[in-house]
Amino acid sequence: MTEPFERISIDPAICHGQACVKGTRVPVHQIVRMLANGDTTEDLLSDYPNLTREDIRACLNYAALS
């Protein structure tokens, strides 16, 4: 398992500095909110084909450490 911060980036020029999945403009909070609202990992992978299961786990890990 990789460290969550290897897959998460914070760049003031991208999404107003919100934590995002590295290499995307998908904010961590959006992934966590979608999971909290009942979306499954499979739903997210379908909606965001550029994400991986590891990216989703990294979002959860990041949120838990924040």
Domain enclosing residue 13, as ranges? 4-65
Q: Are 21 and 53 in contact (CB under 8 A)?
A: no
CA–CA gap between residue 58 and residue 66 (Å, rounded): 12
Contact, 62 vs 28, CB < 8 A? yes
CATH number for the domain that contains residue 22:
1.10.10.10
Q: How many CB atoms neighbour CB 23 within 10 A? A: 11
Per residue in 17-55, pLDDT tens? 999 999 999 999 999 999 999 999 999 999 999 999 999
Number of domains in the chain: 1
pTM of the complete model: 0.89
What single-letter DSSP state applies at residue 27? B
